Amino acid sequence: MTLKIFFNITTFKRYNISTPYNIYNQFPTFAASNRLCMSEKILVIGANGQIGTELVAILRGIHGADAVIASDLKSPIYNLRKNSGPYEIVNVLDKDNLHHIFEKHRPTQVYHLAAILSAVGEQKPKIAWDLNMTGLLHVLDFSVEFNVKKVFWPSSIAVFGPHSPQWDTPQYCVMDPNTVYGFSKLAGERWCEYYFNKYNLDVRSLRYPGLIGWRANPGGGTTDYAVHIFHEALKSGHYECFLSANTALPMMYMDDAIRATIMLMDAPADKVEIRSSYNLAGISFTPTQLAEEIKKHIPGFEISYSDNDPRQQIADSWPKSIDDSYAQNEWGWQLEYNLPKIVADMLLNLRELV
């Protein structure tokens, strides 16, 4: 599979890609099947976030820097300035501003990543709903108007709730989220499927688990402890976790999440049978299990646990593990990073930054 060849290269090079030139020269079969990538014009909205900073680098590696327009509410963060290419200041709630960006660039693909996440959303519920829902509808409307070929929008395990099966949560089951973030993601899934059915808009989506990565900071979610713990382990040798010791949640390394996103967007349309959002499992572990794995690399590391953090209630309503067999069977998804591999790679890279 040509896509897997590409990601093997980028995994070893740690995403340090400036142009696709070397990839095409080294792997002629990849080049022959991907020349059409160079004709794409891709808009990434929310590019300064945890996912966006890494996704932009990969997309520019595939399609060329000038073909990928990064955009966000504020100026580009360091990772995007370093990986130069077009950048726009955009507010998805400003309909005229967003329309201008679509009209100016005429994107063939859109990745709409802008959102307020679970923990922050509970502090600002109406603002979170407005950004997460109104922003999505603006993107969907303009994608129809400007004949965008493909749209990616991330959903989340937050669409599930206290009455969803907690272990191996299936693709189709009771979904009763109890956070504003979860409400907005569940409603967003229905809108995405609606626009596919009514307007033939090719919208694709993944229900991300908690995401772990070292290149950018997380943005205020309930699973953020699984990133913070590495920074504190290296800085002070101690971390106070806001979730209880035995809170199991599904997590995924960012390398896998980006690879899954590109695989889904690269899949033939007839292989993408789910137009709401695909379950994506990752691996499940508790704070205690993560701490024990870190101790194998930092023997003196200690973890403690805070009481009565409001994020605990959110975590308790979410699945402990996910069944992503539809993604595996329909477009060939396979996880690569287990817990030992995640911990080793996080510490290896963060030691150079902390």
Question: For position 125, which CATH number holds?
Answer: 3.40.50.720
Could you read off the pLDDT of 125-183 as tens digits, one per residue?
A: 999 999 999 999 999 999 999 999 999 999 999 999 999 999 999 999 999 999 999 99
Instruction: For residue 299, tell me if it sits in a domain.
Output: no
Instruction: For residue 15, tell me if it sits in a domain.
Output: yes
- Tally of CA atoms within 13 A in the half-sphere of 293 that contains its CB: 19
Cα–Cα distance between 154 and 112 in angstroms, integer? 8
Cα–Cα distance between 329 and 312 in angstroms, integer? 33
pLDDT value at position 352?
Answer: 86
Confidence grade of residue 82 (pLDDT, cut at 50, 70, 90) = low
Instruction: For residue 108, tell me if it sits in a domain.
Output: yes
Cα–Cα distance between 237 and 229 in angstroms, integer? 9
Could you read off the pLDDT of 227-282 as tens digits, one per residue?
A: 999 999 999 999 999 999 999 999 999 999 999 999 999 999 999 999 999 999 99
pLDDT value at position 15?
Answer: 37
Among 205, 14, 26, smallest CA distance to 2 is for: 26
Instruction: For residue 37, tell me if it sits in a domain.
Output: yes
Residue 85 in tokens = 């290419």
Instruction: For residue 290, tell me if it sits in a domain.
Output: no
Among 3, 54, 113, smallest CA distance to 254 is for: 54
Share above pLDDT 90 across residues of the chain, in percent, rounded to a whole number: 81
Confidence grade of residue 220 (pLDDT, cut at 50, 70, 90) = confident
* Enclosing domain of residue 154: 2-210+252-282+322-337
Instruction: For residue 178, tell me if it sits in a domain.
Output: yes
Domain count, the chain: 1
pLDDT value at position 35?
Answer: 45
- Name beta bridge partners: 70: 44, 87
* 305: pLDDT strictly greater than 50: yes
- What are the two backbone dihedrals, phi and then psi, of residue 84, each rounded to the nearest 5 degrees? -65, 150
Instruction: For residue 303, tell me if it sits in a domain.
Output: no
Q: Which residues are catalytic?
A: 181
Q: Say if residues 287 and 331 touch (Cβ distance below 8 Å).
A: no
Cβ count near 300 (within 10 Å): 8
Residue 160 in tokens = 């599930």
Confidence grade of residue 84 (pLDDT, cut at 50, 70, 90) = confident
Q: Say if residues 105 and 143 touch (Cβ distance below 8 Å).
A: no
* 306: pLDDT strictly greater than 70: yes
* 89: pLDDT strictly greater than 70: yes
The kind and range of the H/E element at 32 are helix 28-34
> Please, what is the average pLDDT of the chain?
90
Cα–Cα distance between 19 and 135 in angstroms, integer? 31
Q: Give the torsion sign (CA, 224, 226, 231, 233).
A: positive
Q: Say if residues 318 and 160 touch (Cβ distance below 8 Å).
A: yes
* 11: pLDDT strictly greater than 70: no
Instruction: For residue 293, tell me if it sits in a domain.
Output: no
